[in-house]
Every structure is written in C-alpha cells, then in structure tokens.
Structure 1
Amino acid sequence: MTLEPVHIRAIADLASRIDADFETPEESEVDDILPLLQELKHESKIVLKALGRVFRGKVNIEQMASCNDPVSRTFACDSGSTNPRNFEAGVTVDFCHCALACTPSDLDVHAKRTIVAATYSPSWKCSINTTEGWTSFDNEEGRSKIVRIKPGLLQTREKRMVHNVALYLAESEHMLWLKDIPSTNDIFMMDGPLYPKQLMYWMVVPSGEVQIRYDPHAKKILQNYIDIVDHFMKQQIPVIGFVKNPEDKQVVQALRKQETDLDIPWMADAQLFKSILRPPEKEARNCITYTNWFMHPNQFYESMLDTTTPLMDESLQHVFEAEDYALTFFVVFVPSMNVLFKVEAPYGLTKDEKMRSLITKKVLYDISVNGLPISLSKADSLGKIRKTERAQILKQFRKLDPDTTYNELRWSDMNES
C-alpha cells in the first residue's frame, strides 16, 4: 500500500511546522563570518587561509557563455565501476574502467582505456591469477590488469577498500599513461577530488581492522597522484579536481570553536558557502556566484611527503617543496540549480595569481555554457559501466556464486547507476 492523501497531509503538516519554526541566518550574520575566513585558526593551527583577499564574485550566465573559451583543449578523466561484489567463497571483486575525454573531441584520445580488477580474499590458500604488468587489448588502445589486496589486511570495509583500489589505480594509471597529451593552453580535469581522499584517510587512521597502508597497491596509488601533480606543475598546465558533491566539514567545525558570539548552524562547509554566496532572489536565475581561492595548509597532502611513519616504510618521491602539494580550492554556487561545486588544485600552480584567474574563468565559462564542464560529462559517458554491462560481466564468473542479499533482489531493478 502506498501513501494515501490522508497520510500525505499528515506528513505535510509536520513539515510545515518544522519549516515555520526554523529561521535562516540573517545576511549580516553571514557577512560577519567572512573576515574570519581570511585566516581561520584552531588551537594555533591554520585551518583555512585565503590566497589574496576574501571576496564574493558574481557573473552573468549569458554574458559569460558568450565569451571565448579561455583554453584550447579541455581534458577530463573519469571511470565507471561494476560496484564491488562479494562472492560466497569469500572473495570480493570490483572492476573499474577509465577513459579520458577531450573537448574539442579527439577520437584517438577517447579510444584509450584502462581497466583494473581489484580483488581481496582473507585466505592465503585462495589463488587469484594477478598480473604484474599490463595486458593489452583492442590493438594496444587499452590496458588491463588484476591486482590483489594482501590477505589479512581487511577485517571490515572490504567492499569499500577493494573499490578504492580499483578506482584510484585505474584512474591514476590512465592519467599517467596519457599525461603527455595535454600541452600549453590546455586544462586537465579530474572528476572528483584532486587526491584520493578516502584511501588516504584509511592509510593514516589507526585501525587494526583496516590496514590498507601496508598494501603495495595503495602505496603505488599515492605515488601515482604525486607523479601526476609533479608533471602538471613542471609543465605549468592547470590540473584541477572538480568536486560535484563536496562533503567537507572542517571549516564549519573550526568556526564553531571560535571565541565569538556568532551562531554557526550549518553542518557542512557547502551549506555555509551556499549561505555566503546566495544572491538576491531576483538575480538567482541569471547568475553564478563564487569565492576567492583558499588554502588548507599543513594538511596530509604535504605531511605525507618525506615521512616514513605511519604511512609507509619509504617516503614518496616528489620534485617540489612539500608546500606546493597543499590543497587549494574555490567554490562555485549555481543558484538556478541550488548546487555548489568545489574546484581543487595544488598550491604549486595556484600561488600564481594568473593561474588562479585562468582556472576560475574556465570553470565559470564551462558552467555557464553547459551547467557542468562538458568534458566531464563526456568522460562520465565514456567510462560508465551500465547495469546491463555489469550483469554481463557477472555472468563470466562460472565457479564463484555471488553472495546475494535480499535487498539486492528487491532493489536491483531500480538501480541503474
């Protein structure tokens, strides 16, 4: 039985009572927060630092879209996954398929693919035919390999860790493989954060149940991302991470701990920046708003270099000073969609004001033209593994029976992602 009108009315009544009692922050309160973002500290540690002055910018969508594209070519990398699957024999497997898109379109670039199958079994007796090197297919246009996380390293979160290794290894290896294609006047975009944050978290958090930091593939992934950033910083070609659904909380958490009378009602940084960037209602349909660039100094991205513990027994190789790998970002708010994007880049590039200006203009131009950088949409389409294709891949397992749950039977027909 679905909800009847009487049930909808009862729920609507509850919603209206919640809505009536809630007060959104006054604009003056939001304005009082801005000066704190120039250099936000907690217990003498800098949490956030503005590059230049703190400001809120605004552009007209039609005027921005009528400008010329500030770069010659846009490259974007993305991958699709079968989603990690458990099998009754105690094996977890995920396949990730990565592609690089180019605007204007370049079919030779689009044809290149990297596929990684990541696996895990807690049993040393379980034999998985991994590959040291790459296996070529499609007349050398594609490469594939199987990797295995060491037995015993995962007591929990097996699916998440297998997915992370498959995803980040496929994407980082694909970017390194094709890194020499972008040249001066181009830009390179990653779909998601600049660094593999989920994997990095589990590599440093003290845990006896998730010890992925001891796995060589995880270490290889971190080195790959440093090599990618090194390459683009050496060439002075902008490389960015375009985060569609930012989930950070450290700014609002630090603001809440300040010795001020300011009320900080937001649970996530994106909510704070939406309040800061929301324009008057009459302008909402026709504009995009954005912030200046910020830096998160002395975070994991710098401290992971030149260290042997707890991350790894030998340090990551890098070309530039540790500070150059610091994460910098600005945020863009699209009022007509009520969505906020976060754009990340390494400090080694964004310490140059001209580079910050170029990246900002490019992102604003792409959003004005397409709502989302069109190269990211292309990469998503090229890399995606669809539901029918996932089912076809699963059928190739003849000796392994999927560890199916009731929810998978109930909801699988509705999950196309």
Structure 2
Amino acid sequence: MTLEPVHIKEIHDMVERIDTCLKGDDLDDGTDNVSSILDMLKELNYNGKTVLRSIGPVKRGRVSIEKMIQADDPFDTSYSCDSGSTTAKTFDNGLYVDFCHCAMASTPTDLDIHSMRTIVAATYIDSKKISVSTGDKWESFDSGTSRKKIINIQAGLLKKKANDMVHDIALYLCESEHILQMLERMEDDGFFIMDGPIYPKRLMYWMVVESDDVKIRDDPHCKKILQNYIDIMDHHLKKQKALVGFVKNPEDMQVMQTLKKQEIDIDLPWMLDAQFFKNALFLEKAGVKRRDANKYITYTNWFMQPNQFYEKMLNTTYPLFEGIKHQFPAEDYSLTFFMVYVPKMNAIFKVEAPYGLVKNDEMRWQLTRKVLYDIALNGIPKTLSKADSVAKIQLSERKQIINRFRNSRIDTSYNDIRWGETDER
C-alpha cells in the first residue's frame, strides 16, 4: 500500500513548517555575508598552514550562454577518458572482484582512438591457500588495439572496506594505464578532460592513513597508480598541454570545516564547499532576475590548495613514496580549481588542474574559457559524455559477466533481492 491522501496532506504540512523556518531573517543575514567569506578566501590559513589561496583576485564572473555558443572553440580537438565498472562483487566463497573497462573519446571523433580499450579485473580473497592466476604482463586482444590484466590484492590487507578498495584499485589502475597508453595519440594542442578529480583522492587517503583494517599502502598496485598519475601530470606539464578534471558532484568540505574552526562572527550553514559556492554564484545576488537566470553561467576565479596530495607526498621521507619519480618542483603538482554554476541545471561543477599549468596566465584563461564554452554548448562537456557512452558497462552486460562465474556464487542479501540493481554505472 502506498501513501494515502491523508498521509500526503500531513507530510505537506510538515514541509510547510520546515520550509518556513528557512525563510527567516537569520538565514538571509547569513547568505548576505557571502562577500565577506569570499574575502577570507584570498588566503585561508589554519594552524600556521595555508589551506586555500586565491590565484589572482577573488572574483565572481558570469558569461552569456548565447555569446559563448557563438564564440570559437578555444581548442580544435578535445579528448576525454572514462571507465565503466561491474562494481565490486562479493561471492559466497569470500572472493571480491571488480571489472573495469576504460576507453577514450575525442571530438572530432577518431575511431582508432575510440577502439582502443583497457580492461582490469581486480580480485581479493582473504585466504593464503587460494591464489588467483594473474600474470605480470598485459595481454593484448582485438588485433592488438586493446589489452587486459588480472591483478590480485594480497591477502590480509583488507579487513574492512574491501568493496571500496577493490573498486578503486581496479578503476584507477585501469584509467591511469589507459591514459598513459594514449598520451602520444593526443595532439599537443588538444584539450584533455578527465572524468572526475585529477588525483585518486580516496585511494590516496587510505594509503597514508595508519590503519590495521585497510593496509593498501603495502599493495604494489597502489604505488604503481601513484606513479602513473605523476607520469600523466609530468607529460602535460612538460609540454604545457591542456588538462582538467571535471568533477560533476563535488563533495569537498575542507574550506567550510576550516572556516568553522576560526573565530568569526558569521553564521555558516553549509557543510559542503559546493553548497557555499553555489550560493555565492547565485545569479539573483548579482542583480540578474530569475526569469533571465537560464541565459547565464557563473564561475569563480581559480584557487590553489597547497600542502595536499602529491605536493605533500613528494616532500616527505615516508617510505611509501621512496622511488616515486617526478620531473618538476612539488608545488607544480598542487591541486587548483575553480567552480562553475549552471542555473538552468541548478548544478555546480568543480574544475581541477595542477598548479604547474594554471600558474601560466594564458593557459589558465584558456582552460577557463574552454570549460565555459563546452558547458554553454552542451551542459556536460560533449567529449566527456561521449567517453561515458563508449566506456559504460550496461546492466545486462554486468549480469552476463558475473553469471559467467561457475565455481563462485554471488553473495546476495535481502536488499539485493528487494531492490535489485540499477543501470547507472
């Protein structure tokens, strides 16, 4: 039985009461302080360390979608890499496995680039008696255009979060290996857009955290992934080739958490950084009427987040990072970003790049302009959507892959039976 009219009526009443609370003067006062908060982002420090620093003045800009569409594409050729996954599956015998399939797309379309694929199967089983046949070398197929590899995570490294870690290792090894293989096929004056962050953040977090439950820092595949991403950045920094990461669902909280730790007389109702930036870029605050909002895109300047990720790793003597090679000063690997708000989608995106690229004023402007052009033209950049469609593993295909296991039965729960699986990856 679904909700009856009486239930809907009462829920509507609850909605009205909650919504009324969010209409008061206190909330308005908080959002009116956006400019003051933005001023603090010129250089945000905590405990003697810089958490965020503005590259150039802190500003909010807006562009007309119509004018952007009529402008010239800043880059004649675009490339994007994406991957599809079965997601990590668990079997009754203790096996965890995830298949990741990676492809690259280009605009204009290059069928030779589209046809090249990389497939990684990551496995884990917490038993020293059972070994998975892997092999050290890549195996080629499809007339040499594609390659595949099975990897096994050492038993005993994962007491918790096995699904997450098996998935991340499969995903980031597959994507980074495919990008490395394709680097010389991308034109030097082209534009490369990665799907998501430019660094494997969750994997990196668990590699540096001292944990007896998640010890992937001892897994050689993870160190290989770190080196792969440095090699990708080195290639683009050396040739000054355009590269960004397009984050569709930014979940970072560092800016808001840092501001909340400081003694400031400003109410901060936002948990996520994206919530604040979305509010800061809301067009009505810039004097644009709601009926005209869909005609514009708003965006921030670029920001730098120093002392994080590879910059921090490359400056440390921690044994995990011994032997990892890099060609440029550690600061060049720092994460930088700007935020873009699209009113007609009511969506905010985070666009990342390494500092070694965006410290060049001309390159920084070219990256900004290209992203704004692509969003104005298609919402989600066209090449990114093409890569997603090429790499995606459909639900029917995922089921077919898992059903090929003859000696292992999928470990199902009641929720799996009740809700099933959706075709969203």
TM range, normalised to the smaller chain? over 0.9
2:88 maps to 1:84: yes
2:254 maps to 1:250: yes
Task: Write out aligned runs for 1:308-347 (5 A).
Answer: 308-309=317-318, 311-312=320-321, 314-347=322-355
Q: Tell me which residue corresponds to 1:400.
A: 408
- For the residue of structure 2 that corresponds to 1:189, the secondary structure is strand
Q: Which moved more, 1:256-265 or 1:172-181?
A: 256-265
Distance of 2:194 and 2:131 partners within structure 1: 35
Task: Write out aligned runs for 1:17-416 (5 A).
Answer: 17-23=17-23, 24-26=27-29, 27-280=31-284, 281-309=290-318, 311-312=320-321, 314-412=322-420, 414-416=422-424
Pair 99,180 (structure 1): closer, same or farther in 2 beyond 3 Å? same
- Output one character per residue of 1:224-247: Cα deviation in whole Å (capped at 9) or x when no partner: 000000001111101111000000
Distance of 2:8 and 2:43 partners within structure 1: 47
- Output one character per residue of 1:259-281: Cα deviation in whole Å (capped at 9) or x when no partner: 22111110100000011100022
- Output one character per residue of 1:140-196: Cα deviation in whole Å (capped at 9) or x when no partner: 111000000011000011111000000000000000000112223211111000000
Asked if the contact 1:308/1:315 (under 8 Å) is kept, the reply is no
Asked if the contact 1:233/1:349 (under 8 Å) is kept, the reply is yes
Residue type at the aligned position of 2:3: L
Distance of 1:415 and 1:378 partners within structure 2: 17
Residue type at the aligned position of 2:360: D
- For the residue of structure 2 that corresponds to 1:140, the secondary structure is coil
Q: Which moved more, 1:223-232 or 1:396-405?
A: 396-405
Distance of 1:127 and 1:32 partners within structure 2: 59
Distance of 1:54 and 1:267 partners within structure 2: 21
2:17 maps to 1:13: no
Asked if the contact 1:306/1:315 (under 8 Å) is kept, the reply is no
Distance of 2:320 and 2:405 partners within structure 1: 36
- Output one character per residue of 1:4-36: Cα deviation in whole Å (capped at 9) or x when no partner: 121111111111101101144445311111110
Distance of 1:362 and 1:182 partners within structure 2: 17
Residue type at the aligned position of 2:237: M
Distance of 1:157 and 1:318 partners within structure 2: 30
Distance of 2:292 and 2:262 partners within structure 1: 33
**TM-score when normalising by structure 2:** 0.96
Q: Offset at 1:413?
A: 5.2
Q: Offset at 1:308?
A: 4.1
Asked if the contact 2:103/2:114 (under 8 Å) is kept, the reply is yes
Distance of 1:52 and 1:414 partners within structure 2: 44
Distance of 1:184 and 1:25 partners within structure 2: 48
Residue type at the aligned position of 1:135: E
Distance of 2:119 and 2:19 partners within structure 1: 48
Distance of 1:162 and 1:171 partners within structure 2: 14
Distance of 2:152 and 2:159 partners within structure 1: 15
Asked if the contact 1:306/1:316 (under 8 Å) is kept, the reply is no
Identity, % of aligned pairs?
Answer: 56
- For the residue of structure 1 that corresponds to 2:420, the secondary structure is helix
Distance of 1:299 and 1:284 partners within structure 2: 36
Q: How many aligned residue pairs are there?
A: 416
- For the residue of structure 1 that corresponds to 2:294, the secondary structure is coil
Asked if the contact 1:204/1:310 (under 8 Å) is kept, the reply is no
Distance of 1:252 and 1:49 partners within structure 2: 14
Asked if the contact 1:98/1:171 (under 8 Å) is kept, the reply is yes
- Uncovered stretches (5+) of structure 1, i.e. residues with no partner: none
Q: Offset at 1:92?
A: 0.2
Distance of 1:76 and 1:275 partners within structure 2: 29
- For the residue of structure 2 that corresponds to 1:178, the secondary structure is helix
Distance of 2:96 and 2:421 partners within structure 1: 22
Q: Offset at 1:47?
A: 0.7
Q: Which moved more, 1:186-195 or 1:249-258?
A: 249-258
Pair 372,310 (structure 1): closer, same or farther in 2 beyond 3 Å? same
